[in-house]
Amino acid sequence: MKTDDFNSPDFYQIDDLLSDEHKIIRSSIRDFVKTEITPHIESWYEEAIFPEHIVERLGSIGAFGPYLPSKYGGAGLDYLSYGLIMQEIERGDSGMRSTASVQSSLVMYPIFKFGSEEQKGKYLPKLASGEMLGCFGLTEPDHGSDPSSMKTHYKEEGEHIILDGSKMWISNAALADIAIVWAKNEAGRIHGIIVERGMEGFSTPSTHGKWSLRASSTGELVFQNVKVPKSNILPNKSGLGAPLMCLDSARYGIAWGAIGAAMDCYEAARKYASERKQFGKPISKFQLTQKKLAEMLTEITKAQLLNLRLGQLMNDGNASTYQISMAKRNNVNTALNIARESRQILGAMGITNQFPIMRHMMNLESVVTYEGTHDIHLLILGKEITGESAFF
């Protein structure tokens, strides 16, 4: 069995800016990843298995909704803690982090922010413990970057609504007990609806043939005249702004998570370079290898500082969508470049599953697309800078 002796690079002594509590949380999640994810991830990935038991395990270590109050099963932690948890889990695998961030930011967060007291009491504690798994349905087959044009809709019928349409590319769809579904009412206004597994006309086919996020389950949500009680509508916010608020929280977690994957690639490449000999000396003696490693560490350090400051702004309630977009876009792109450079340092060995690099690289190809593509985040920033929308 592979040993995992990962330690995160800290070139700018950023640890000095974290509290003891932050460091304890990071260390406990890191230990969890070392014992419960690293030893199995390559075979789950190769066999395209989502390890269902991991849901309750993630719940037990507090990875679901850590920033929610304890009244609802959360741990009342701050956003730096949430970021560190995402960083450590994605260091293990982006698919595992996907499960944690969908559950936390895209399922628990909207119920907490927009739900009724009854909805919060009914779902949040079970979601926090991992007894229940959720998913988030915004993307449709014909509407990805442009969710405002979604077709999924509902009409009112007495105490129920009748929901029709479909969602695609939904993480955890096939396993989720509940789905937070975004759909338009008869006036064309977007609302969030809690759809439960077992409701007649609701099905969740799996998506196969992915070369990315293979240890994560992806699927569709299909609604054919699904009768949902009106009381399952999230009452406290409507409009596209509601799902976009959830995305802010999830994109923040991804900005941290991606750097976890980058650190894992960098550490694997650094160690390999000191052990692998060519032309009679370790390849770490070659200037071109040193250039790669120096540039990787520089980019990781810049991204760590971006995350730290963004986390402070999140804690103060002052982080803007645009700041979050910048961090998501920069850090995922940085991680993808670092995965590619690390792979080069390992030569042929870099393409095997004896090292985590190629898996991280393939995962990051999804991460750079979901939660807003690299180019959509550039346009979100462009709109903020110029005041002009490139979308409409």
Q: Which of 218, 212, 310, 294 is nearest to 261 (CA)?
A: 212
Closest CA to 382 of 305, 307, 322, 315: 322
Q: Which does 137 bind (CB under 5 to 8 A by kind): ligand TGC, ligand FAD, none?
A: ligand FAD
369 phi, psi to nearest 5 deg: -100, -40
Closer CB to ligand FAD, 172 or 284, in the complex: 172
**From 43, 239, 294, 351, residue interacting with ligand TGC (rule: CB under 6 A):** 239
- The least CB distance from residue 341 to ligand TGC, in Å, is 24
287 Cα distance to chain centroid: 36
Binding partner selected for residue 375 from ligand FAD, ligand TGC, none, CB under the kind-specific 5 to 8 Å limit: ligand FAD
Residue in 138, 259, 306, 345 binding ligand TGC, rule: CB under 6 A:
138
DSSP per-residue codes, 338-388: HHHHHHHHTGGGGGSTTSSHHHHHHHHHHHTTTTS-HHHHHHHHHHHHHS-
Rounded Cα distance between 364 and 259, Å, is: 11
CB under 5 to 8 A by kind: which of ligand FAD, ligand TGC, none does 369 bind? ligand FAD
Does the protein bind ligand TGC through residue 241 (CB under 6 A)? yes
Q: Which stretch binds ligand TGC (CB under 6 A): 3-11, 67-75, 154-162, 384-392?
A: 384-392
User: Could you tell me the smallest distance in angstroms from the CB atom of residue 122 to ligand FAD?
Assistant: 22
Q: What does the alpha-carbon distance between residue 150 and residue 240 come to, in Å, rounded to a whole number?
A: 10
Pick one of ligand TGC, ligand FAD, none as the site partner of residue 217 (Cβ within 5 to 8 A by kind). none
220 catalytic, yes or no? no
Beta-carbon contacts of 93 under 8 Å, excluding residues fewer than 6 positions away, are 37, 41, 45, 215, 359, 360, 363
| Residues lying near ligand FAD in the complex (CB under 6 A) | 102, 135-139, 144-145, 169-171, 213, 218, 366, 369-371, 373, 375-376, 379, 391
Whose Cβ is closer to ligand TGC: residue 75's or residue 180's? 180
Between 136 and 223, name the residue whose CB sits nearer to ligand FAD.
Answer: 136
The nearer residue to ligand TGC, 107 or 358, going by C-beta atoms, is 107
Alpha-carbon distances, residue 217 vs 137, 201, 256 (angstroms):
14, 21, 22
d(CA 87, CA 253): 8
Q: What is the DSSP letter of 220?
A: E
Cβ atoms of 41 and 93 within 8 Å: the answer is yes
114 belongs to the binding site for ligand TGC (CB under 6 A): no
The one catalytic residue among 341, 371, 384, 388: 371
Q: Which stretch binds ligand TGC (CB under 6 A): 30-38, 96-104, 125-133, 227-235?
A: 96-104
Q: Rule CB under 6 A: is residue 148 a binding residue for ligand TGC?
A: yes
CA 42 to chain centre: 19
Sign of the dihedral through C-alpha 282, 283, 288, 289: negative
Question: Which of the residues 151 through 210 are near ligand TGC (CB under 6 A)?
Answer: 171
Site for ligand TGC, residues 307 to 366, rule: CB under 6 A: 321
Specify the residue, 8 or 366, whose C-beta has the smaller distance to ligand FAD: 366
* Tokens (6 digits) for 232: 């399952």
- Active-site positions read 371
Binding site for ligand TGC (CB under 6 A): 98, 101-102, 136, 138-139, 145, 147-148, 171, 239-241, 244-245, 247-248, 321, 370-372, 376, 380, 389, 391-392
